[in-house]
Amino acid sequence: MSDFHGVSVLVSGGTRGIGRAIVTAFAQGGARVTFTGRDARAAEETCAGSGAPDRCRFVAGDVSTAEAAEAAVAAAVEHGGGLDVLVNNAGITRDTLLLRMSQEDWDRVLAVNLTGAWQLTRAAARRLMKSRRGRIVNITSVVGLMGNAGQANYAASKAGLIGLTRSVARELAGRGVTANAVAPGFIQTDMTAGLPPGAADELQGRIPLGRLGTPEDVAAVVAFLAGETAGYITGQVIPVDGGMVM
Ligand code: NAI
């Protein structure tokens, strides 16, 4: 694990699941971590469980708006004395088959998963360029690579996030900022807890390593990409999926 003392990190959607594990990984590595989300009580639990509550700060807000993005970056700069690492993790699903998908289902998923990441990236870019080592890590999904029946909105948002990652990687490379994506497979969180038992068993059967992933499996790769030793990796998508996509 890299040493993150003196490093300022901003994580979107850190109140539970994968985002919470990412906040914890950075806080335990010594970083000052600012995270966003919508649930202040859950945010307290994230900080308390991180092992370094004094280095955690929560900012409430809807990630899909420009105002919330600006506020989150400002809070991270204040809390961390600058900004070195941005992790775009906040995401939602509104799964349904194409013919039943409403305009609202489509718009909301794209707004949170893709526009939200773009808003935060835009708001953070100048600060990251000023950093000694600017890093952007976007949490996409294997579904953004493979597609998935019943998830046209979600898969499109996650595929779009890969395009955003690679464009930003090219634009900011000259300023020493890397941008990569992590593509989790089937990870045990509240997001996947609602799947019907049959669907969960079927998915598990498609994982060569034979188990679901944990939020910590994903957080470890995020921390690696944000660390000192990953400075020559940019524009890449790293699956963390037990071998589902290969
Ligand atoms: P989760 O539902 O447990 O947590 C999502 C987080 O995003 C929460 O902290 C929530 O407050 C925050 N969030 C949602 N909408 C927001 C908004 N409008 N503004 C601010 N924050 C908002 O989800 P989970 O499973 O931890 O997923 C995290 C990321 O990983 C998501 O981007 C998801 O798409 C992605 N992912 C998850 C997989 C899984 O199997 N759980 C697989 C592949 C990708």
pLDDT tens by residue, 155-214 = 999 999 999 999 999 999 999 999 999 999 999 998 888 877 788 888 889 999 999 999
Q: How much distance in Å is there from the Cα of 35 to the middle of ligand 1?
A: 13
pLDDT digits (tens, 9 = 90+) for 104-121: 999 999 999 999 999 999
Considering the domain boundaries, does residue 19 fall inside one? yes
Task: Check if 92 has its Cβ closer than 6 Å to any atom of ligand 1.
Answer: yes
- Residue 63: Cβ within 10 Å count: 25
Considering the domain boundaries, does residue 148 fall inside one? yes
Considering the domain boundaries, does residue 192 fall inside one? no
Q: How much distance in Å is there from the Cα of 56 to the middle of ligand 1?
A: 19
- pLDDT, position 189: 92
CA dihedral 88, 94, 95, 101 (to 10 degrees): -120
Considering the domain boundaries, does residue 93 fall inside one? yes
Q: How much distance in Å is there from the Cα of 128 to the middle of ligand 1?
A: 23
Considering the domain boundaries, does residue 52 fall inside one? yes
- pLDDT, position 132: 86
CATH number of the domain bearing residue 26: 3.40.50.720
Using 50, 70 and 90 to split pLDDT, how confident is the model at 68? very high
Model-level pTM?
0.98
79-88, 129-138, 190-199: least confident range: 190-199
| CA 22/CA 87 separation, integer angstroms | 9
Nearest-5° angle of CA 153, CA 122, CA 135? 95
Which of 4, 26, 58, 154 is flagged as catalytic?
A: 154
Report the mean per-residue pLDDT for the chain: 96
pLDDT digits (tens, 9 = 90+) for 208-245: 999 999 999 999 999 999 999 999 999 999 999 999 99
Q: Which residue's CA is minimally distant from atom 23 of ligand 1? A: 191
Considering the domain boundaries, does residue 213 fall inside one? no
Counted residue by residue, the chain has a size of: 246
- Residue 81: Cβ within 10 Å count: 12
Number of domains in the chain: 1
Q: Domain of 86? A: 8-185+222-238
Task: Check if 145 has its Cβ closer than 6 Å to any atom of ligand 1.
Answer: no
For residue 197, count CB atoms less than 10 angstroms from its CB and return exposed for 0-12, middle for 13-18, buried for 19 or more: exposed
Is 154 catalytic? The answer is yes
Q: How much distance in Å is there from the Cα of 90 to the middle of ligand 1?
A: 5
SS3 content of the chain, % helix, strand, coil (to 5): 50, 15, 35
Considering the domain boundaries, does residue 209 fall inside one? no
Using 50, 70 and 90 to split pLDDT, how confident is the model at 26? very high
Task: Check if 192 has its Cβ closer than 6 Å to any atom of ligand 1.
Answer: yes
- pLDDT, position 203: 83
Considering the domain boundaries, does residue 59 fall inside one? yes
- pLDDT, position 66: 96
